[in-house]
Amino acid sequence: MEKENFFFRRRDLPGFSRQFPENPLISDSVLEFCIKETFNSARASALILNTIEDLESPFLAQIRTKFQKVYAIGPVHSLAKNLRTATKDQTHNHNGLWEEDRSCLTWLDSQPPKSVVYVSFGSITVLTRSQLLELWHGLVNSGYRFLWVRRPGLVSGEEDSDIMTGERGFVVKWAPQEEVLGHRAVGAFVTHSGWNSTLESMAAAVPMICWPNSADQPVISRLVGEVWKVGVDMKDVCDRSTVEETVRYVMGGGGGEMGRSTAEIADLVRRSVVEGGSSYSDFQDLVKDLKSN
């Protein structure tokens, strides 16, 4: 990442770092926990980070002023896949909380290339019924096909049974996300901006529409939209017209720059996890250091 002249706005920062009256769900105990963990990290002899050297080099440079050893070995899922390929290991690890519904892959096989919007808000994000409806209508009104992961507990309160039905949409409780993002039919990813999801989308060269919820997600969505240019930061609004407009913009190529950026970042990911790449080398150094100690 070469762009260092950017800034975070107050609304881009994690919730615990803002004033409590504006964040009633954030308590003093949350802030105290974060402070404690920060001090504990400062006592560590090394840090292992799921990131890429060239993606976050300004931040890593600052971190290295506080730590003697920093291992940037991400994206871990791409590195693991490369190592399994190199050793001809055919095992596949499923780390999801719910059983994957692979019928969505069959549905994707029947769709045109780059025609589907994939929607998933991760394992813990909770939407209100109003937010669900705005996102749903925005997707439907965009005219694009979509695959929506609607896990148990996604929506707070009662839900209408007829919501999220229609011929352009396909809904599952959980999906094999890495395979979905790598499918030829997927053209965009509506995401909560969790770090694992962000890295998986980058690796697959799929542009993101970011609607962050908590923790580091507002920071990540800002980087996705304004620094890495691989998506749109939609954190400030949740209305159907904005969702519709944003989906059409991203699926239409994002003005050209977004397509170029996603391809460049995907190539960066690929190069980082193969032999000679920064993440591969850091992982080898980590293994060597662990064995020596």
Please write the tens of the pLDDT for every residue from 111-120. Answer: 999 999 999 9
For residue 183, the domain's CATH number is: 3.40.50.2000
* Mean pLDDT, the chain, integer: 89
pLDDT of 6 above 80: no
Verify that 239 and 284 share a domain, yes or no: no
| Average pLDDT of the segment spanning 191-209 | 98
**Residue 151 near residue 98, CB atoms below 8 Å:** yes
Token pair, residue 183, equals 């499918």
Contacts of 43 (CB under 8 A, 6+ apart): none
Verify that 247 and 280 share a domain, yes or no: no
Verify that 149 and 231 share a domain, yes or no: yes
Task: Supply the pLDDT for residue 38.
Answer: 82
Token pair, residue 44, equals 């560590």
| Average pLDDT of the segment spanning 153-171 | 73
pLDDT tens per residue, range 264-290: 999 999 999 999 999 999 999 999 999
Contacts of 14 (CB under 8 A, 6+ apart): 214, 215, 216, 218, 219
pLDDT tens per residue, range 26-66: 556 767 787 888 888 888 889 999 999 999 999 999 999 98
DSSP calls for 72-124: E---HHHHHHHHHHHTT--------SS---THHHHHHHTSPTT-EEEEE-TTT
Total of domains in the chain? 2
Task: Supply the pLDDT for residue 267.
Answer: 98
Verify that 142 and 220 share a domain, yes or no: yes
Range picked from 13-17, 26-30, 128-132, 213-217 for highest mean pLDDT: 128-132
Verify that 206 and 254 share a domain, yes or no: yes
Q: How confident is the model at residue 94 (pLDDT cuts 50, 70, 90)?
A: low
Q: What is the pTM of this model?
A: 0.89
Task: Supply the pLDDT for residue 8.
Answer: 81
Residue 177, domain member (yes or no)? yes
| Average pLDDT of the segment spanning 197-222 | 95
Residue 1, domain member (yes or no)? no
Residue 12, domain member (yes or no)? no
Structural domain boundaries enclosing 224: 103-260
Verify that 34 and 115 share a domain, yes or no: no
Task: Supply the pLDDT for residue 1.
Answer: 47
